[in-house]
Amino acid sequence: MTTRTEPSSARTAERRSWLREHSELGVCVLLLVLGVLVLTDALTMDVDIAQRGPVGPKTVPVVVGTGLLVIAALLAVDVLRGGRGQAEGGEDVDLSEPADWRTVLLLAGIFLGTSVLIEPLGFPAAGALLFWGAAFALGSRRLDRDPLIAAALSLVTYVVFDKLLGVPLPGGPLMGVL
């Protein structure tokens, strides 16, 4: 954090760092929203004749929704008292550096793009784009090698799944030509 001289900006910086410290409260908000959503859905359900037995389709959603609200509150209390969720470690995870949001957003975007393209382009082409794009987002810049690996992987996967294992994948116009 950079130090600033003006008191007002110091206060915003302070508030921002407090929010960053307590970003886990965002999880509480999401749980709260989810709970409200589940409860609204359950309570606006009109069950009249459909119900067989004393416990209808409403009961469990009401319990789950209430549970979500309670847990959201408990988690908020825990966070405000200094409790922190332990971020998950792993073989390739380096927690000492701040999160690289650009890569995450890029990956999510590429994945979304693939799901749009899979039907018009077919799996081999869309899959290759997904692999290449994801590898690029993750920092691989071998323009001579990456597209080839992506194309080979995608084509082999298509043939193995569609032809050998009997799991249908769309071939798209490319496979129509070949």
Partner 1 sequence: MNALNSLLDGFGTALTPLNLLWAALGVLLGTAIGVLPGIGPAMAVALLLPVTYGLDPVAAFIMFAGIYYGAMFGGSTTSILLNTPGESAAVVAAMEGNPMARSGRGAQALAAAAIGHFAGGMVGTVLLVALAPTVADLAVDIGAPDYFAIMVLAFIAVTSVLGSSRIRGLASLLIGLTIGLVGLDQMTGQQRLTFGSLQLADGVDVVIVAVGLFAIGEALWVAAHLRRRPAEPIPVGRPWLGRGDVRRTWKSWLRGPFIGFPFGAIPAGGAEIPTFLSYVTEKRLSKHKDEWGKGAIEGVAGPESAASASAAGTLVSMLTLGLPTTAVAAVMLAAFQQYGIQPGPLLFEREPELVWGLIASLFVGMVLLLALNLPLAPVWAKLLRIPRPYLYAGIMFFAAVGAYAVGGEVVDLVTLLIIGLVGFGMRRYGLPILPAVIGVILGPNAEQQLRRALQISDGSVTGLVNTPFAVTVYAVIVLLLAWPLVRRVGRRGPART
Taking CB under 8 A as the criterion, which residues in 36-95 touch partner 1? 37-38, 41-42, 45, 47, 50-57, 59-61, 64, 67-68, 71-72, 74-75, 78, 83-95
Q: Compute the least distance from the CB of residue 42 to partner 1, in Å.
A: 7
**Closer residue to partner 1 (CB): 9 or 23:** 23
CB contact at 8 A, 76 and 29: no
The sign of the dihedral angle between the CA atoms of 68, 70, 75, 76 is positive
Least Cα distance to 122 among 178, 174, 177 occurs for 174
CB contact at 8 A, 36 and 69: yes
Q: Compute the least distance from the CB of residue 173 to partner 1, in Å.
A: 17
Q: How far apart are CA 30 and CA 26, in angstroms?
A: 6
7 is an interface residue for partner 1 by CB under 8 A: no
**Closer residue to partner 1 (CB): 7 or 139:** 139
| Positions 92 through 151 that interact with partner 1 (CB under 8 A) | 92-95, 97, 99-101, 103-104, 107-108, 111-112, 114-116, 118-119, 123, 127, 130-140, 149-150
**Closer residue to partner 1 (CB): 125 or 133:** 133
Q: Compute the least distance from the CB of residue 174 to partner 1, in Å.
A: 17
11, with CB counted inside 10 A (0-12, 13-18, 19+), is exposed
The answer for residues whose C-beta is within 8 angstroms of residue 19's C-beta and 6 or more apart is none
Q: Compute the least distance from the CB of residue 101 to partner 1, in Å.
A: 7
| Positions 13 through 32 that interact with partner 1 (CB under 8 A) | 24, 27, 30-31
CB contact at 8 A, 95 and 87: yes
